[in-house]
């Protein structure tokens, strides 16, 4: 994936829309995928030598990329689902996916917001930010928070923000914005930024480390509470969310999209719309 060059293969295969024999009564579900996301974590588990869980190993050995997105419940066991209910969770980069474990698959009850939002803001990425901030960092009133940002204050409503690429001295920049020290730092990049943050942390300051601090699936039981907080903010216009959608897997192969994402070529959330 170096240099943004990826060898993508989109294959068309005929399939029978039914749960395979032997899986009818095991809780298996056939999904019709509607929206598929593209996330940085996909690179970390693409190769078997970096896989750390059985799910990651499956990702590296599967001819189809594992992903995350919004789907219709097409067939449950031996019966077609009446009304074709909507849900979000793990799937594959394909039009139809068979899943045998529905524990991390959530029913979508709120359809008065764009369904594509459930691949990002209302899905796993948004839940990761929520769990990391409110569960891991546990902020208290009166504290100031520093997260890596390079977007303008008037677009997303941050009290302060700066582009670290334009700062010749990160240590001086942090002292300028946080003269009393940093209470909470959400570590997501490492390198020079982390090196500059560490000496500027307050006594008893907290750092959430994505690489080893927490796994978002541990907090999936809080998903309902997360929606209660975020959905009103969306409807009231308190959250700015940027999204680019491309229709058709053949027009937007996930591998190329992932390479572009990692090369920082986008400022918005990227989502693929699976066509009929």
Q: CATH number for the domain including 66?
A: 3.90.180.10
Three-state secondary structure call for residue 29:
strand
Residue 171 resides in a domain = yes
pLDDT score at 227: 94
Same domain, 101 and 155: no
Q: What is the pTM of this model?
A: 0.63
pLDDT score at 160: 72
Cβ(72)–Cβ(85) under 8 Å? yes
Residue 45 resides in a domain = yes
Same domain, 81 and 183: no
Residue 178 resides in a domain = yes
* Residue 254: other Cβ atoms inside 10 A: 23
Same domain, 7 and 113: yes
Three-state secondary structure call for residue 35:
strand
Residue 236 resides in a domain = no
pLDDT score at 262: 59
pLDDT score at 44: 58
Give the CA-trace dihedral at 187, 262, 37, 1, to 10 degrees.
Answer: -130
Cα 40 from Cα 20, distance rounded (Å): 32
pLDDT score at 94: 78
Same domain, 253 and 175: no
Last residue of a domain, one of 160, 188, 209: 209
Cβ(92)–Cβ(66) under 8 Å? yes
Cα-trace Rg, the chain: 20
Cβ(249)–Cβ(93) under 8 Å? yes
Domain count for the chain, please give it. 2
Contacts made by residues 125-129, CB under 8 angstroms, sequence distance 24+: 125/37, 125/39, 125/269, 126/226, 126/230, 127/216, 127/219, 127/220, 127/222, 127/223, 127/226, 128/210, 128/216
Three-state secondary structure call for residue 90:
strand
pLDDT score at 218: 87
Same domain, 62 and 134: no
Same domain, 30 and 96: yes
Residue 72, CA distances (Å) to 9, 27, 61, 125, 270 in order: 25, 16, 26, 20, 20
pLDDT score at 172: 92
Parent domain of 186: 128-209
Same domain, 116 and 132: no
Per residue of the chain (276 residues), what is the pLDDT tens digit? 444 444 555 566 666 666 566 555 556 777 888 888 877 666 655 544 444 454 444 444 455 667 788 988 776 654 444 446 888 887 777 788 887 766 777 889 898 899 989 988 898 889 988 998 888 888 777 655 444 554 556 666 667 777 776 778 989 999 998 899 999 898 877 788 889 999 999 988 998 875 556 788 888 889 999 999 999 999 998 888 888 777 776 655 555 566 666 565 566 676 777 766
The H-or-E segment that residue 60 falls in is helix 54-61
Same domain, 78 and 148: no
pLDDT score at 85: 80
Same domain, 89 and 147: no
Same domain, 79 and 183: no
Three-state secondary structure call for residue 92:
strand
Same domain, 116 and 22: yes
Same domain, 87 and 20: yes
Residue 230 resides in a domain = no
Last residue of a domain, one of 167, 193, 209: 209
Residue 234 resides in a domain = no
Residue 182 resides in a domain = yes
């Amino acid at each position: 994936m170096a240099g943004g060059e990826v060898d993508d293969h989109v294959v068309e295969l005929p399939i029978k829309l039914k749960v395979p024999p032997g899986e009818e009564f095991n809780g298996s579900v056939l999904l019709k995928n509607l929206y598929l996301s593209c996330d940085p974590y996909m690179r970390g588990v693409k190769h078997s030598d970096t896989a750390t869980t059985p799910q990651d190993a499956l990702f590296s050995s599967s001819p189809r990329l594992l992903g995350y997105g919004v789907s219709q419940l097409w067939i449950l066991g031996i019966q077609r689902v009446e009304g074709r209910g909507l849900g979000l969770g793990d799937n594959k980069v394909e039009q139809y996916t068979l899943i045998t474990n529905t524990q991390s698959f959530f029913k979508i009850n709120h359809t008065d917001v764009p369904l594509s939002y459930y691949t990002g803001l209302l899905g796993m990425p948004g839940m990761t930010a929520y769990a990391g901030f409110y569960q891991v960092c546990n902020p208290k009133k009166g504290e100031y928070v520093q997260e890596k940002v390079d977007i303008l204050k008037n677009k997303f409503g941050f009290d302060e923000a700066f582009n670290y690429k334009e700062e010749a001295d990160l240590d001086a920049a942090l002292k300028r914005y946080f003269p009393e020290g940093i209470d909470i730092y959400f570590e997501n990049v490492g390198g020079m930024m982390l090196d500059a943050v560490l000496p500027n942390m307050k006594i008893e300051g907290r750092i959430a480390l994505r690489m080893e601090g927490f796994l978002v699936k541990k907090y999936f039981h809080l998903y309902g509470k997360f929606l209660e907080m975020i959905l009103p903010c969306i409807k009231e216009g308190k959250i700015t969310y940027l999204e680019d959608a491309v229709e058709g897997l053949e027009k937007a192969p996930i591998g190329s999209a992932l390479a572009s994402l990692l090369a920082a070529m986008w400022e918005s959330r990227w989502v693929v719309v699976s066509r009929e």
